Copies of this chain bind each other. A is one copy, B any other.
Amino acid sequence: MTGDAVHPAWLPDEAWRPVGSRRVLVRADGPLAQTVVRELARAADRHGGTLRHQPARPQQADTGTRGSDSDSDSDSDSDSDDASIRAGAGFDLVSALTGADDLPGPAAMVLAEVDRRVGRGSLGTEGFVLARREGVTVLLADGPAGLLYGLFHLVRLGEAAFGAALPIDVHHPVSARRMLNHWDNIDTHPVMGQVERGYSGGSIFWRDGGLTGDLDRVRAYARLLASIGVNAVTVNNVNVHATEAHLLTDRLDDVAALAGVLRPYHVRVHLSVNFNSPVALGGLPTADPLDPGVRTWWAETTRRVYAAIPDFGGYVVKADSEGQPGPFGYGRTHAEGANTLAAALEPHGGVVHWRAFVYNHHQDWRDRSTDRARAAHDHFAPLDGHFAGNVVLQVKHGPIDFQTREPVSPVIAAMPGTHLAVELQVTQEYTGQQRHVCYLGPMWSEVLSFTPWGATRPTVAEVASGAAHGDERAEPGRRPSGQGGLVAVSNVGDDPFWTGHPLAQANLYAFGRLAWNPLLDPAALLDEWIELTFTPAATADPDLLRRTVHKVMDGSWQVYESYTAPLGVGFMVRPGSHYGPDVDGYEYTPWGTYHFADRDGIGVDRTRATGTGFTGQYPKPWSDVYESPASCPDELLLFFHHVPYTHVLHSGKTVVQHIYDTHFDGADRVALMRSSWARLGDAGLVDPDVDARVRERLDEQLRCAQEWRDQINTYFYRKSGIPDAHGRRIH
A588 and B718 contact, CB distance less than 8 A: no
B366 and A598 contact, CB distance less than 8 A: no
Bound-state Cα–Cα, A588 to B714, Å: 10
Residues in A679-731 with C-beta less than 8 Å from chain B = 707, 710-711, 714-715, 717-721, 731
B731 and A366 contact, CB distance less than 8 A: yes
A719 interface neighbour in B582, B585, B598, Cβ under 8 Å: B598
Q: Which of chain B's residues have a CB closer than 8 A to the CB of A707?
A: 588
**0/1 per residue, A589-601, Cβ < 8 Å to B?**
0000000011110
Task: Assess whether A190 is interfacial by the CB under 8 Å rule.
Answer: yes
Q: Which of chain B's residues have a CB closer than 8 A to the CB of A629?
A: none
Task: Assess whether A455 is interfacial by the CB under 8 Å rule.
Answer: no
Task: Assess whether A581 is interfacial by the CB under 8 Å rule.
Answer: yes
B719 and A719 contact, CB distance less than 8 A: yes
Q: Which of chain B's residues have a CB closer than 8 A to the CB of A720?
A: 599
User: Could you tell me the distance in whole angstroms from the C-beta of A55 to the nearest C-beta in chain B?
Assistant: 57
- A721 in contact with B598 given A191-B191, A584-B584 (CB within 8 Å): yes
User: Could you tell me the distance in whole angstroms from the C-beta of A705 to the nearest C-beta in chain B?
Assistant: 14
Residues in A550-592 with C-beta less than 8 Å from chain B = 581-585, 588
A582 interface neighbour in B190, B588, B714, Cβ under 8 Å: B588
User: Could you tell me the distance in whole angstroms from the C-beta of A730 to the nearest C-beta in chain B?
Assistant: 10
Bound-state Cα–Cα, A707 to B587, Å: 13
Interface size class, chain A: 20 to 34
Residues in A600-620 with C-beta less than 8 Å from chain B = 600
User: Could you tell me the distance in whole angstroms from the C-beta of A601 to the nearest C-beta in chain B?
Assistant: 10
User: Could you tell me the distance in whole angstroms from the C-beta of A667 to the nearest C-beta in chain B?
Assistant: 13
Closest residue of chain B to A722 (Cβ to Cβ) is: B599
A711 interface neighbour in B191, B588, B715, Cβ under 8 Å: B588
User: Could you tell me the distance in whole angstroms from the C-beta of A442 to the nearest C-beta in chain B?
Assistant: 30
A588 interface neighbour in B581, B598, B721, Cβ under 8 Å: B581
**0/1 per residue, A608-651, Cβ < 8 Å to B?**
00000000000000000000000000000000000000000000
Q: Which of chain B's residues have a CB closer than 8 A to the CB of A585?
A: 582, 584-585
Bound-state Cα–Cα, A357 to B715, Å: 30
User: Could you tell me the distance in whole angstroms from the C-beta of A596 to the nearest C-beta in chain B?
Assistant: 8
B599 and A721 contact, CB distance less than 8 A: yes
B191 and A598 contact, CB distance less than 8 A: no
Q: Which of chain B's residues have a CB closer than 8 A to the CB of A598?
A: 717-719, 721
B599 and A719 contact, CB distance less than 8 A: yes
Q: Which of chain B's residues have a CB closer than 8 A to the CB of A365?
A: 731
- A718 in contact with B597 given A366-B710, A584-B582 (CB within 8 Å): yes
User: Could you tell me the distance in whole angstroms from the C-beta of A131 to the nearest C-beta in chain B?
Assistant: 59
Bound-state Cα–Cα, A707 to B714, Å: 26
A residues bordering B, Cβ < 8 Å? 190-191, 365-366, 581-585, 588, 597-600, 707, 710-711, 714-715, 717-721, 731
Sampled A-B contacts (13; CB under 8 Å): A190-B190, A190-B191, A191-B191, A366-B731, A582-B584, A582-B585, A582-B588, A585-B585, A598-B718, A598-B719, A599-B599, A599-B718, A599-B721
Given contacts A366-B731, A582-B585, A598-B718, 18 further A-B contacts (CB under 8 A): A190-B190, A582-B584, A582-B588, A583-B584, A584-B584, A585-B585, A588-B707, A588-B711, A588-B714, A588-B715, A597-B718, A598-B717, A598-B721, A599-B718, A599-B719, A599-B720, A600-B721, A718-B719
